[in-house]
Chain A
């Protein structure tokens, strides 16, 4: 059985991850343990979640630059509300998700109704959310809540003493839900259609306006969820947190094999993109002598590799087509 060329970028992503892990394992055999895997998932949980939202946006041919700020806003919002009121954290979560989802939906509405590029609208959203976080507080606000302590101390003990934390579980669940939504629903199909070409999508019966609002609302929801997870992970809210996370998420999406111009890619690929980036960091920690900016260099190289790879694949497939034509 031959492999459908659709899967090439996804397979390339997985292959790179496996290869990288093998290299790490050969050098540091201790890296092949569920402890490392558990930490990899936990440390990158917030990034994985926001990257799922980013994947959906990019697949539809858009971009969402606001998510990093929204994560920071979420952390501050939760911390401040918990400090000032006696609401249960779960109630605060619901409130927060409502706010960030509405924020995303509003950006989607502006993008569609004013026919503005997503880049500029979400750039405005980025400043707005960051500013809103500063309005709530300019300090790092610690979160001390029994519910937080409970979540932080709960985990599933994997064989080999690795801990699958709640937030890692939430991340994996998010990827699963994201993949189902993107690849197994009509909403997902419309989103791919929009990424393939707005005019054609409209002719095929896609309601562009509604879809655009939903896509950015989804990304806003994911950014809010990521903010919750980040606040659990760090145990505080800080308005200067996660600066540039939107770009890291975009990098993860691209390394995950999604084409930046939209219309082709896989949510599962994004998980591997996030894990590959996390793996590089883990390697540097294991090595101990390397400085952490090596992470950035390797990620930069990986991004370049993927851009070249995508162009190469495009060229191969178009060459195949021209042969058929001749």
Chain B
């Protein structure tokens, strides 16, 4: 047993983050660590990697008690970590990154040839054919991720912690990463795998441990658990959503409701081929497709982030101006982008300031929103959306992903838009907040708002959409309604791409 943790506890002022947690990692296994945000996963990992000191309990590595006090100490002991955001330097070459701190030297100077040879040796067995003399930043995130793994394995070699490594990878890249992880498992490494993607957990891991509220709930062979049981463990309650009829009852007459906006022959070559789309009042349109198929691009065109080359948007009163986000906002559009951290929130500003951002932008800088009004709005939405925070003045960067997303939603709800675009509204947030956001979507449409929801998770689209548009190869290829809103038809519409491509190759 390379890694054994016994009754580990860690408290922060006002909260017990870990409460007598036990955890075992065998050699040659991939062990998933699961839990909602705030369950204690990251605290556990930080105790392992030396970022936090534990209050009590034991960590044993190959039978010896250890107590790392820094990341580099943990690394030297044999515990390597790879984070979601690659913690290597894009401005150094692959070889420099791999050998950093242990560069081969000759006569006191770094030997470039030996350094590259060493880097190639470290990468052998990972199935990468890359030039180690190029900047790391020239390669895709997946390759950077694998380089980071190669470095961690080389430096540590006993335990490898992968903290949400697939969060920013597409399906092919994820497969590539999984092959690497499997080959490391065969070499006898113990691997801890943290992920929000349950599919990936079932695909990759041998065992899993669920944490909830700082306690260990269960450790079990992955194969002996089914999805519903697992989610119940994570939530500690029955998940009504999965047991519901998967789809919401949609109003069959939604198409006869008044139109909110109609896009006609709308597009830009190389971004999204021109499409027609009519949005009705209170309707949810789901946008399904693979990564890079043109989903986000559709949203960006609609919101004026990119300029459309052809077509226009109309409502009953005529043309709608949305050539740039400012015009789009003025026309009653809203957009909660996919990459919350860089495009959605301003981490240093408070919750209140983030909520009033778009509203203030619409009023113009000369007419500040009165402070009392700001406070009222913030308090209002914190309560309405159940944003968990100690107060409206807390910097938004300190909230969990789900709560950040709620603030972004609050920003747009405060504007009361007629048409709101949500790009991956549930990415990177825990299961509980996930369900809350889906409920919120339903509530909004009941109030008459129209939504366009982009998501990689079909279940989610199926659950909320009145209509699903399938995007493929930067083209809107299918529109599904009624009983066709189900996994089968969607997947068939998306998969037609593979067939088409196969023909092209042949």
Chain A's interface size range is 20 to 34
Which of A29-37, A193-201, A242-250 is the interface stretch? A193-201
Q: What residues on A are CB-neighbors of B105 within 8 Å?
A: 186
Instruction: Give the Cβ gap from B300 to chain A, nearest Cβ, in Å.
Output: 14
Q: Which residues of A contact B88 (CB under 8 A)?
A: 200, 204
- Give, as a whole number of angstroms, the nearest-CB distance from B45 to chain A: 14
Given A189-B110, A263-B89, A264-B91, A205–B134 Cβ distance below 8 Å? no
Q: Is the CB of A197 within 8 A of B89?
A: yes
Q: Which of A5, A188, A204 contacts B101 (CB 8 A)?
A: A204
Which of A68-76, A90-98, A162-170, A318-326 is found at the contact surface with chain B? A318-326
For A192, give the chain B residue with the smallest CB separation.
B92
B131 and chain A: residue at smallest CB distance: A4
With A185-B110, A204-B100, A205-B72: A6-B89 Cβ-Cβ less than 8 Å: no
B369 to chain A, nearest CB (A): 33
Would you call A184 and B91 a contact (CB within 8 A)?
no
| Interface check A180, CB cutoff 8 A | yes
Contact present for A196 and B91 (CB under 8 Å)? yes
Cα A3 to Cα B397 with chains together (Å): 42
Q: Are A201 and B135 in contact (CB under 8 A)?
A: no
A252 to B109, CA, bound (A): 27
Complex contacts, A203 vs chain B, CB 8 Å? 71, 87
Interface majority SS (helix, strand, loop, mixed), chain B: loop
Inter-chain CA distance A13–B140, complex, in Å, is 28
Contact A326 B91 (CB under 8 A): no
Chain B residues whose CB sits within 8 angstroms of the CB of A189 once the complex forms? 92, 96, 100, 103, 110
Given contacts A186-B103, A189-B100, A325-B292, contact A320 B138 (CB under 8 A): yes
- Cα A195 to Cα B90 with chains together (Å): 11
Minimum CB distance partner of B112 in chain A? A184
Is the C-beta of A317 less than 8 angstroms from some C-beta in chain B? yes
B138 touches which of A186, A188, A195, A317 (Cβ 8 Å): A317
A189 to B103, CA, bound (A): 9
B110/A186 in contact, CB under 8 A: yes
**Chain A residues closer than 8 Å to B112, beta-carbon distance:** 184
Distance between A266 CB and nearest chain B CB, rounded to angstroms:
13
Q: Across the two chains, which residue of chain A brings its CB closest to B151? A: A204
Interface string of B311-341 (1 = CB under 8 A from A): 0000000000000000000000000000000
Q: Is B133 engaged at the interface, CB distance under 8 Å to the other chain?
A: yes
How far is the CB of B133 from the nearest CB of chain A, in Å?
A: 6
Interface residue from A6, A321, A325 paired with B93 (Cβ < 8 Å): A6
Interface residues of B in 21-77 (CB under 8 A from A): 71-72, 75
Q: How far is the CA of A320 from the CA of B72 in the complex (A)?
A: 34
> CA A188 – CA B292 in complex, angstroms?
39
Q: A4-B133, A204-B101, A205-B100 are in contact. Are A192 and B91 (CB under 8 A)?
A: yes
Q: Is the CB of A324 within 8 A of B140?
A: yes
Q: A184-B110, A325-B292 in contact; A192/B89 too (CB < 8 A)? A: yes
B273 CB to closest chain A CB, in angstroms?
A: 15
Contact A321 B138, beta carbon cutoff 8 Å: yes
1/0 contact trace for B102-136 toward A, CB 8 Å? 01010011101000000000000000000101110
CA distance A6 to B93 in the complex (A): 9
CB-based contact B101/A186 at 8 Å? yes
Count contacts on B: residues with CB < 8 A to the other chain: 29
> Looking across the interface, which residue of chain A has its beta carbon closest to that of B92?
A192
Q: Quick check: B91 and A263 within 8 Å, CB to CB?
A: yes
In the complex, which of the residues A180, A195, A200, A324 contacts B87, with contact meaning CB atoms closer than 8 Å? A200
Q: Report the minimum CB–CB distance from B188 to chain A (whole Å).
A: 26
| Contact (A5, B138) CB under 8 Å given A186-B101, A325-B292 | yes
CB-CB < 8 A to A183: which residues of B?
110
> Once bound together, how far apart are the Cα atoms of A265 and B292, in whole Å?
33
Nearest opposing residue in chain B for A2, CB measure: B131
**Complex CA–CA separation, A161 to B137 (angstroms):** 48
**B135/A5 in contact, CB under 8 A:** yes
Q: Which residues of B contact A188 (CB under 8 A)?
A: 110
State in angstroms the CA–CA spacing of A195 and B91 once bound together. Answer: 8
- Chain A minimum-CB-distance residue to B93: A6
B101 cross-chain contacts in A, Cβ below 8 A: 186, 204-205
For chain B residues 118-173, which have a beta carbon within 8 Å of chain A? Answer: 131, 133-135, 137-140, 170
Per the bound structure, the CA–CA distance linking A185 and B138 in Å amounts to: 23
- Residue interface bits A146-189, CB-to-B below 8 A is 1, else 0: 00000000000000000000000000000000001001111011
Q: CA–CA, A263 to B91, complex, Å?
A: 6
Residues of A within 8 Å of B93, CB to CB, are 6
Nearest-neighbor residue (CB-CB) of B49 within chain A: A203
Beta-carbon contact of B89 and A193 below 8 Å: yes
- Nearest-neighbour CB distance to chain B for A7, whole angstroms, equals 10
Per the bound structure, the CA–CA distance linking A205 and B93 in Å amounts to 17
Q: Cβ of B292: which chain A residues have Cβ within 8 Å of it? A: 325-326
Most central of B105, B110, B140 by chain A CB within 10 Å: B110
- Whether A185 and B134, one on each chain, are in contact in the complex, defined by CB atoms closer than 8 angstroms, is no
**Which residues of chain A are near B109, meaning CB under 8 Å?**
180, 184-185
Q: Are B134 and A196 in contact (CB under 8 A)?
A: no
CA–CA, A249 to B145, complex, Å? 38
Once the chains are docked, how many angstroms separate the CA of A320 from the CA of B139? 9
Tell me the bound Cα distance from A4 to B105 in angstroms.
23
Instruction: Please determine whether B92 and A196 come into contact, CB atoms closer than 8 angstroms.
Output: yes
CB-defined contacts of A197 to chain B, threshold 8 Å: 89
- Cβ distance A82 to chain B, nearest Cβ, rounded Å: 36
Nearest A residue to B109 via CB reads: A184
User: Among the listed B89, B134, B135, which residue makes an inter-chain contact with A200, where contact means beta carbons less than 8 Å apart?
Assistant: B89
A204 touches B140 (CB 8 A): no
A197 to chain B, nearest CB (A): 6
Between A183, A188, A196, the greatest number of chain B beta carbons within 10 A of the residue's beta carbon is seen for: A196
Q: Is the CB of B138 within 8 A of A196?
A: no
Chain B residue nearest in CB terms to A193? B89
Within 8 A of B (CB), among A1-42: 4-6
CB-CB under 8 A from B91, the residues of chain A are 192, 195-196, 263-264
Verify B90–A196 contact, CB threshold 8 A.
Answer: yes
- For A204, the closest partner residue in chain B by CB is B100
Alpha-carbon gap, A204 to B72, bound state (A): 7
- Closest-by-CB residue of B relative to A199 is B87
B199 to chain A, nearest CB (A): 22
A195 to B133 CA separation, bound complex (whole angstroms): 19
A–B pairs, 20, beta carbons within 8 Å: A5-B134, A6-B93, A6-B133, A183-B110, A184-B110, A192-B91, A192-B96, A193-B89, A196-B91, A197-B89, A200-B87, A204-B100, A204-B101, A205-B100, A205-B101, A264-B91, A317-B138, A321-B138, A325-B140, A326-B292
11 other A-B residue contacts (CB within 8 Å) besides A6-B135, A200-B88: A4-B131, A4-B133, A6-B93, A184-B110, A185-B108, A185-B110, A186-B110, A189-B110, A196-B89, A204-B89, A317-B137
Question: Chain B residues in contact with chain A, CB under 8 A?
Answer: 71-72, 75, 87-93, 96, 100-101, 103, 105, 108-110, 112, 131, 133-135, 137-140, 170, 292
Nearest 6 CB-CB pairs, A to B?
Answer: A263-B91, A196-B89, A196-B91, A184-B109, A205-B72, A205-B101
